[in-house]
């Protein structure tokens, strides 16, 4: 059973099982945090090139986040010690920045979450380094389409199952696998809140969408099977069959008529092929 709540000063900062229905103040806070998150990814674009390390990307993200008056929400989150996640090629998500050098033909996801005035702007997109083979570019494009098809379903009266269903249908039409082990999430003053946003599903199932809900959609799509394997670092998830994986993420809020995307790039850079 799904329950909804109007957050109060006491509950707004705590994770709840009920789904929070936020007001205009939250939407304004999310707009600002989401805008900064998108601008951080925009600024990375020229920098993500063969020869750069994932640790250097993390340094830039940290600096840009602080310059924007925010704090990287991942820094110290459950023991995570970095300002973003950088997930290369067969890494599905939560790749830890370090000495790894980006090479020609790599695809990578960079996921940032600036915490600005108490609000979390959570977004990720794919970057292409150098000359990327068509097969990998196709996976990136279809994954972006999956996110946007899901967002089209995000409106009052629809259900989370409608969102998952279109994502799954589109991915599987291309014989890709949708990762089941990680999902989108409610957010706001809380980083990971109810509901869980699963990227597969059946129409008309799951929680009904209502104005004021704020959550991410962040499909992880594998070039092969959906299975994952966790590395010994306890964070990095890779494809079990070693195929490539892609992901895009936006933070959105349900409005009276549809939804507002908080993490759109002011310059349109959120969208492949980033011409």
Nearest approach in angstroms of CB 149 to Co ion is 18
Tell me how far, at minimum, the Cβ of 238 lies from ligand MF3, in Å. Answer: 14
| Least CB distance to Co ion at residue 60 (A) | 17
Under rule CB under 5 A, residue 122 binds Co ion:
yes
Beta strand 245-247 with 237-239: parallel, antiparallel or unpaired?
A: unpaired
- What tokens appear for 207 in the block? 């929680």
Token pair of 124, please? 């990720």
| Partner whose footprint covers residue 85, from Co ion, ligand MF3, none (CB < 5 to 8 Å by kind) | ligand MF3
Residue 274 binds which one of ligand MF3, Co ion, none, with CB within 5 to 8 A depending on kind? Answer: none
Nearer to ligand MF3, 76 or 204 (CB): 76
The partner in contact with residue 145, picked from Co ion, ligand MF3, none with C-beta cut-offs of 5 to 8 angstroms by kind, is none
Q: Which two tokens stand for residue 191?
A: 């980083």
Point out which residues bind ligand MF3 (CB under 6 A): 74, 77-78, 80, 85, 94, 111, 113, 122, 218, 235, 249
Q: How far is the CB of 18 from ligand MF3 (least distance, A)?
A: 20
- Stretch binding Co ion (CB under 5 A), from 104-112, 149-157, 234-242, 261-269: 104-112
Q: What minimum distance in Å lies between the beta carbon of 217 and ligand MF3?
A: 10
Residue 247 CA to residue 127 CA, distance in Å, equals: 10
- CA atoms of 243 and 84, how far apart (whole Å): 23
* 216 lies in the site for Co ion, by CB under 5 A: yes
- Tell which residue, 14, 16, 22, has the closest CA to residue 3: 16
Using CB distances below 5 to 8 A depending on partner kind, what does residue 143 bind out of ligand MF3, Co ion, none? none
Q: Which residues within the stretch 235-274 sit at the binding site for Co ion (CB under 5 A)?
A: 249
Measured between alpha carbons, how far is 57 from 70 in angstroms, rounded to an integer? Answer: 17
Instruction: Give the binding range for Co ion (CB under 5 A) out of 67-75, 95-103, 106-114, 142-150.
Output: 106-114
CB under 5 A: which stretch of 49-57, 102-110, 123-131, 165-173 binds Co ion?
123-131
Q: Does 111 contact Co ion by CB under 5 A?
A: yes
**Beta-sheet pairing, 4-5 with 19-20:** parallel
| Largest interatomic CA distance in the chain | 51
Residue nearer to ligand MF3 on the CB measure, 192 or 210: 192
Nearest distance from residue 96's CB to ligand MF3, in Å?
Answer: 8
β-bridge partners, 111: 85, 124
77 binds, among ligand MF3, Co ion, none (CB under 5 to 8 A by kind): ligand MF3
Nearer Cβ to Co ion (12/190) = 190
Residues that bind Co ion (CB under 5 A): 111, 122, 124, 216, 249
């Amino acid at each position: 059973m799904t329950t909804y709540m109007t957050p109060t000063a006491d509950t707004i900062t705590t994770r709840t099982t009920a789904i929070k229905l936020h007001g205009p103040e939250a939407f304004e806070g999310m707009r600002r945090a989401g805008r900064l998150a998108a601008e951080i990814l925009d600024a990375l674009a020229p920098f993500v090139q063969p020869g750069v390390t994932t640790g250097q990307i993390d340094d830039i993200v940290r600096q840009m986040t602080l310059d924007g008056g925010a704090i990287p929400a991942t820094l110290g989150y459950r023991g995570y010690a970095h300002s973003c996640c950088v997930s290369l090629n067969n890494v599905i998500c939560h790749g830890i920045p370090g000495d790894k050098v980006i090479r020609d033909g790599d695809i990578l996801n960079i996921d940032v979450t600036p915490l600005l005035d108490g609000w979390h702007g959570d977004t990720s997109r794919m970057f292409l380094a150098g000359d990327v083979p068509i097969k990998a570019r196709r996976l990136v494009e279809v994954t972006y389409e999956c996110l946007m098809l899901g967002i089209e379903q995000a409106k009052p009266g629809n259900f989370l199952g409608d969102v998952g269903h279109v994502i799954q249908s589109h991915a599987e039409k291309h014989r890709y696998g949708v990762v089941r082990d990680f999902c989108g999430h409610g957010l706001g003053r809380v980083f990971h809140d109810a509901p869980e946003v699963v990227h597969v599903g059946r129409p008309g199932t799951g929680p009904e969408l209502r104005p004021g809900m704020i959550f991410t959609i962040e499909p992880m799509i594998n070039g092969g099977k959906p299975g994952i394997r966790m590395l010994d670092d306890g964070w990095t998830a890779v494809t079990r069959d070693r195929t490539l994986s892609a992901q895009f993420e936006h933070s959105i809020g349900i409005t009276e008529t549809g939804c507002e995307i908080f993490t759109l790039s002011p310059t349109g850079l959120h969208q492949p092929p980033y011409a």
